[in-house]
Amino acid sequence: MSNYWKQIESIQNTPSAPKSDDVLVPTNEALVRKIKVGAGWPFWIAGLSVLNAALTHFEAPIRFAVGLVMTDLIYAIGHALNPALAYVAVGLDAMILGFLIFLGVQARRSRIWAFVTAITLLVLDVGVQFWVSAEAESLSIIGIIFHALAIHYLVAGMLAANLHNTRVKEGKA
């Protein structure tokens, strides 16, 4: 038999689908890493939002293009209605940011609802950003990209948490 036919025969005898043991399955360490990366985003968003709120409160000429837009909007509305209401707005902003930190803590514990809530909050914030941008006739592309990136990592963390939680329930973790 020629070499060519031996090669054809060996290709035909090769199984087309990998065995279940050969399929690449993420390890628990990889899942935990993805969970932590996804769950870390609410902390970053809260931290940058606090910096933006402080910069806005002290009327600094600079601000970060990333962070929650809704906290800036709440402060602006409160300050525009009455400067004394700016302090109430700061309190509302603190509650929103505290809730975001709480979501980050819960997401690190692989709580799916925390990921879903954080994703929903960011999607709503993108909606607020589009609304504010339409009113101001300027759009922050960097802010939208930042939100999209955060949502991407939150979704990846949520999927990893779901797989990790399933493995724990099955006793495979």
Task: For the full predicted model, state whether its pTM sits above 0.85.
Answer: no
**114 and 107 Cβ atoms separated by less than 8 Å:** yes
Position 137 pLDDT exceeds 90: no
H/E stretch holding 147: helix 141-170
Cα–Cα dist 67/114, whole Å: 18
Contacts of 82 (CB under 8 A, 6+ apart): none
pLDDT digits (tens, 9 = 90+) for 1-56: 566 666 656 655 555 544 544 445 677 888 999 999 999 999 999 999 989 888 88
Q: What kind and span of H or E run contains 36?
A: helix 28-57
Quick one: average pLDDT of 51-63?
83
- DSSP symbols for 59-93: T-S---S-S-HHHHHHHHHHHHH-TTHHHHHHHHH
pLDDT of residue 59: 82
| pLDDT score of 91 more than 60 | yes
- Judge contact between 67 and 129, C-beta under 8 A: no
How far apart, in whole angstroms, are the C-alpha atoms of residue 159 and residue 31? Answer: 9
For the chain, which residues make up each domain, given as ranges?
Answer: 28-170
